[in-house]
């Protein structure tokens, strides 16, 4: 076994023993030894485009909650991973990036396909390690970087989960007849976890509020419900939090949030989608973030671990009066019947009616990935309609980009046991990641892509910039108006295609396999319907 294969084998074998299961590999020469060893050890996907590979790995990690491996060759291939790594960092998804690189003595010598790969991802990774032929204790290096990706480290408090980077300096690939396959006997070494102890005193309160932000918090629902039950606390939860229904859950809060005079906020997960809700958090002087790890890109100072929260609940014997939550529910009741009557009688095809119909038709245990811009806001506004269903909601809200949505959804569907996987996104996001249709066709996964074609970036119509005098410039450079339809390009990939022009005709397809549904939406209908809902 030559040196390249030896290093590649140790990396793959160690990650296998630690519990990794999936790898997204982009082809190349410099990474050939890594690619072959990883493909022997893991369920592997061969993906030509590194940007798509990164986003598919992100989707797999979202679905499995395990670190997913990305492997690519040197040069600009590495740079193409950056968008997905930014999203993984901002949404705390464990990704292990393994990049092949030229030997260190070739750096800065004008050698072909040689760039500065060391620390190329800068603040968007939790840890960086370089490995070359002189490295010793490679297994320990891999152990350290794996533990960092899942939020664990020796002799330190718990940290965030997220992407980590291993840059492997390799010699010119050589042919070898030697081969060694990874053992399938996984040995996961137990890692001691620690709980942050902040000794932060929770002040007395009379009108508390629970806010569940843009994070998958389903595993913490019992803690959230325990806090709500103890103090009669209203629960405001983003749709992406995946928090199920509770008697204290509040919907349509954006309609009356200006009248909420809360004195304490218990925040779970990332900050919420609603701007009004974020303003409420900003104005409240007594806000606590409940989580077991320190937080990146957040200005909160009062962080309480789940253990500390549980101890506080158990040790506190007071019980708040129900006046506070009763007043909130009374405000909510003024809007429930009106909004639901509008939704039940609507005939317009727009983001809100599409979200409403999708939520009502989706099967239990469906996976629904929601794109950004208007559609995620429509789903979040109407989240009351899934409170009784077991539906898994996904989104890329770490950095809220429109790139990589198709590839991420393919990763979720490919690693899920569900036969019902949906991606709902806008036309701009679809066009941005259209090359991932090849991956969808090759893998033949059960994924239905629903394109809301409103002929451009409709979200900008909600902003003051749309009212500027120079409308032609706005439509060309900001809204990016177009007349594109997608049947020809979808069918060119050999993927089933359907189009609906009316709300009454639109239904979720029940057939298995990849499918694209295009919904033609009048570009003015979304904003007009939103105004009807909220005024």
One domain, residues 368 and 444: yes
We report the CATH number of the domain holding residue 29 as 3.40.50.970
Where is 265: in which H helix or E strand? strand 264-268
Residues in the chain: 535
Range of weakest confidence among 116-125, 368-377, 450-459: 450-459
More confident residue, 247 or 184: 247
Tell me whether residue 158 is exposed, middle or buried, using C-beta atoms within 10 angstroms of its C-beta: 0 to 12, 13 to 18, 19 or more. Answer: middle
> Could you give the number of structural domains in the chain?
3
| Residue 186, in any domain of the structure | no
Question: Is the CB of residue 402 less than 8 Å from the CB of residue 455?
Answer: no
Record the tokens describing residue 434, joined without a space: 């259209």
* Structural domain for 262, as ranges: 208-329
pLDDT at 77 over 70: yes
Largest CA distance in the chain: 77
The continuous run of DSSP H or E covering 168 comes out as strand 163-169
pLDDT band at residue 187 using 50, 70 and 90 as cut-offs: very low
Asked if pLDDT for residue 20 goes beyond 90, the answer is yes
Q: Could you give the residue ranges of the DSSP H alpha helices within 316-436?
A: 323-345, 351-361, 374-381, 405-414, 427-432
- Do 139 and 22 share a domain, yes or no? yes
- pLDDT (0 to 100) of residue 522: 87
Cβ–Cβ < 8 Å for 191, 152: yes
Claim to verify: residue 157 and residue 234 sit in the same structural domain: no
Q: For the chain, what is the mean pLDDT?
A: 88
Note whether residue 298 is domain-resident: yes
Which one, of 225, 422, 399, 197, lies nearest residue 294 by Cα?
197
Q: Quick one: 374 and 431 in the same domain?
A: yes
The pLDDT value recorded for residue 469 is 66
Both 105 and 247 in one domain: the answer is no
Same domain, 429 and 323: no
SS3 content of the chain, % helix, strand, coil (to 5): 40, 15, 45
Exposure pattern of 232-249 as b/e (b: 16+ CB <10 Å)?
bbbbbbbbbbbbbebebb
Rounded CA gap, 412 and 55, in Å?
10
195 within domain boundaries? no
Q: Which of 298, 329, 360 is the last residue of a domain?
A: 329
Taking only the tens place, the pLDDT of each residue in 38-63 is 999 999 999 989 999 999 999 999 99
Range of weakest confidence among 29-33, 170-174, 176-180, 508-512: 176-180
pLDDT for the residue 527: 85
Work out the average pLDDT over 316-345: 89
Q: Which residues contact 219 (CB under 8 A, 6 or more apart)?
A: none
Q: Summarize pLDDT for 522-535 with one digit per residue, the tens.
A: 888 888 898 888 88
Q: Residues 324, 232: contact at Cβ < 8 Å?
A: yes
Look at the block and give the residue holding tokens 């898994």: 392
Taking the C-alpha atoms of residue 246 and residue 262, their distance in angstroms, rounded to an integer, is: 20
Residues 6+ apart with CB under 8 A from 48: 26, 27, 438
Do 124 and 23 share a domain, yes or no?
A: yes
Residue 231 belongs to some domain of the structure = yes
Three-class secondary structure of residue 218 per DSSP: helix
What per-residue confidence (pLDDT) applies to 177? 39
From the list 270, 209, 268, 221, the residue with the least C-alpha distance to 245 is 221
Residues 6+ apart with CB under 8 A from 229: 248
pLDDT at 154: 66
**Residue 196 counted as domain residue:** no
**Residues 199, 156, 125, 305: what is their CA dihedral angle, to the nearest 10 degrees?**
-30
Residue showing tokens 């509020």:
209
Mark whether 217 and 138 lie in a shared domain.
no
The pTM assigned to this predicted structure is: 0.90
Cα dihedral 516, 520, 524, 528 sign: negative
- Which of residues 294, 329, 364 is at a domain's end? 329
Share of the chain above pLDDT 90, in %: 66
The last residue of one of the domains, among 302, 329, 356, is 329
């Amino acid at each position: 076994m030559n040196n390249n294969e030896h290093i590649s084998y140790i990396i793959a074998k160690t990650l296998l023993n630690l519990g990794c299961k999936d790898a997204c590999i982009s082809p190349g020469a410099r990474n050939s030894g890594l690619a072959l060893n990883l493909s022997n050890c893991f369920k592997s996907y061969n993906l030509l485009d590194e940007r798509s590979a990164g986003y598919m790995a992100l989707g797999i990690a979202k679905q499995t909650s395990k670190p997913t491996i990305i492997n690519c060759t040197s040069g600009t291939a590495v740079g193409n991973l950056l968008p997905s790594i930014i999203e993984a960092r901002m949404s705390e998804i464990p990704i292990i990036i393994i990049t092949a690189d030229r030997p260190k003595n070739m750096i800065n010598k004008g050698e072909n396909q040689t760039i500065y790969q060391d620390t190329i991802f800068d603040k968007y990774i939790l840890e960086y390690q370089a490995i070359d032929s002189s490295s010793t204790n490679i297994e320990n290096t891999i152990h350290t970087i794996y533990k960092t990706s899942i939020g664990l480290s020796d002799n330190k408090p718990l940290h965030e989960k997220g992407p980590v980077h291993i840059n492997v300096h390799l010699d010119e690939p050589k042919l070898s007849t030697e081969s060694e396959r990874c053992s399938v006997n996984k040995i996961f070494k137990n890692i001691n976890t620690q709980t942050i102890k902040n000794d932060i005193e929770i002040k007395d309160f009379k009108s508390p509020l629970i806010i569940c932000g843009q994070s998958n918090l389903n595993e913490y629902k019992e803690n959230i419900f325990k806090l709500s039950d103890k103090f009669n606390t209203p629960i405001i939860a983003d749709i992406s939090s995946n928090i199920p229904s509770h008697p204290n859950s509040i919907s349509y809060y954006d309609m009356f949030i200006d009248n909420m005079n809360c004195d304490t906020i218990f925040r779970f997960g990332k900050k919420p989608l609603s701007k009004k809700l974020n303003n409420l958090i900003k104005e409240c002087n007594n806000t606590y973030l409940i989580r077991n790890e320190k937080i990146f890109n957040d200005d909160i100072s009062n962080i309480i671990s789940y253990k500390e929260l549980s101890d506080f609940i158990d040790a506190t014997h007071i019980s708040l009066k129900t006046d506070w939550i009763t007043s909130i529910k009374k405000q909510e009741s003024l809007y429930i019947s009106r909004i639901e009557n509008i939704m039940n009688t609507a005939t317009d095809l727009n983001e809100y009616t599409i979200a409403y119909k999708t939520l009502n038709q989706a099967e239990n245990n469906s996976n629904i990935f929601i794109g950004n811009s208007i559609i995620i806001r429509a789903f979040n506004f109407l989240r009351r309609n899934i409170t009784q269903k077991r539906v898994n909601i996904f989104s890329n809200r770490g950095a809220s980009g429109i790139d990589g949505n198709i590839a991420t959804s393919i990763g979720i569907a490919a690693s899920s046991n569900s036969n019902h996987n949906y991606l709902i996104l806008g036309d701009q996001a679809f066009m941005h990641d259209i090359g991932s249709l090849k991956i969808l066709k090759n893998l033949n996964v059960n994924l239905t892509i629903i394109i809301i074609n409103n002929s451009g970036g409709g979200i900008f119509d909600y902003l003051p910039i749309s009212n500027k005098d120079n409308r032609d410039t706005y439509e060309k450079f900001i809204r990016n108006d177009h007349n594109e339809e997608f049947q020809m390009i979808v069918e060119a990939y050999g993927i089933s295609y359907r189009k609906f022009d009316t709300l009454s005709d639109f239904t979720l397809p029940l057939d298995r396999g990849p499918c694209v549904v295009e919904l033609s939406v009048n570009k003015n209908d979304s904003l007009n319907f939103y105004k009807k809902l909220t005024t």
